[in-house]
A and B are shown apart, each in its own frame.
Chain A
Amino acid sequence: AQKVTQTQTSISVMEKTTVTMDCVYETQDSSYFLFWYKQTASGEIVFLIRQDSYKKENATVGHYSLNFQKPKSSIGLIITATQIEDSAVYFCAMSPLDSNYQLIWGSGTKLIIKP
């Protein structure tokens, strides 16, 4: 079975701090792609960052970075120096290489940044 699990339904942190959101996945495929997307208050779904399973180095884009722990099937999203506008719902997704580029989605984590 292929599955993506986000156990944190909601996280609240103070502005300018660092937050980590958890995501674990299940797949029998040896090659896969992992994604994090953000859904804003307006409903827009925006791509943030991606990790390819064969890459050992953690991906980083701006103030987003990933903590990829392949033996634990885990891909955490780290946001440093959080801002009010980071408040959103964050989704983790996986695409096994032989899935014809289908995305399997987690249920999302709501992030609230407090001033």
Chain B
Amino acid sequence: EVQLVESGGGLVKPGGSLRLSCAASGFTFTNAWMSWVRQAPGKGLEWVGRITSKTDGGTTEYPAPVKGRFSISRDDSKNTLYLQMNSLKTEDTAVYYCTRDNYGGSQHWGQGTLVTVSS
């Protein structure tokens, strides 16, 4: 069974940094393309970035709202995905989901971790 467990969320001040982790199991993590998707309170879903497998180059892509501030990385030896978030803004407040991608979309989702950016 595929399991994705996010951790690392919490309260951070504007301008601060936070690193989220996603522990993966139940599939071959090394071969997986992974994404982070967020959901602000009471709002819709927003993709915040993706990393391909190392076999496919280990490349990362980000949408404009987070490009230059967020960075995705992976440690295949630990089956773990990371999201480093810098220069956080109040509008980054959201539940952050780790997803395993397949067939051009997020097939499996974690339970999410809440990030609150507030002074």
B is bound to A: no
Give me the interface of B with A, judged by CB distance under 8 Å. none
A residues adjacent to B (C-beta < 8 A): none
